[in-house]
Amino acid sequence: MIVRHLNEIKGTENETKAETWSSRRFLLKKDNMGFSFHETIIYAGTETHIHYQNHLEAVYCVGGNGEIETVKDGKVYPITDGTLYALDQNDEHYLRGGTEDMRLICTFNPPLVGTETHDENGVYPLLDDDGNRIK
């Protein structure tokens, strides 16, 4: 069994930071669960362009507030504690922090290897176990 606490992840190589968010990666591909599992903080008042072309992601909000806008149709959905969204169509979107930081629990299929961060198009590359880009 795997048991991990946030305090063991913060400030280590398993925390990835960007200008608008921080991702604490609890479970990665090497843990062999078939998905990766993260806590993401989206900073208040920010906007992030995201398009996971190589991954499916489900996201559950457990704190704070914000919104998501899907690019193809301009629909805007509020996000509060208790909201889930699933990017089942690899949906391109804008993720916005609201008046407070948003605390999100995220799962990725296929699982992240560990070092992924958004490229200029909001995409995570598909990496092999050694961190080499496959796609």
| Residues making contact with ligand 9YT (CB under 6 A) | 21, 23, 38, 40, 50, 57, 59, 95, 104, 106
Q: What is the DSSP letter of 62?
A: E
> Residue written as tokens 């280590």?
12
Q: Which is nearer to ligand 9YT, 50 or 127 (CB)?
A: 50
What is the spatial distance between Cα 120 and Cα 113, in angstroms, rounded to a whole number?
19
- Please report how close the Cβ of residue 32 comes to ligand 9YT at its closest, in angstroms: 19
Q: What are the backbone angles phi and psi of residue 13, rounded to the nearest 5°?
A: -65, -15
- Please report how close the Cβ of residue 72 comes to ligand 9YT at its closest, in angstroms: 17
Q: Give residue number: closest CB to ligand 9YT.
A: 23
Residues whose CB falls within 8 Å of the CB of residue 66, separated by 6 or more in sequence, listed in order: 42, 78, 79, 95, 96, 97, 98, 102
Q: Which is nearer to ligand 9YT, 59 or 123 (CB)?
A: 59
- Please report how close the Cβ of residue 21 comes to ligand 9YT at its closest, in angstroms: 5
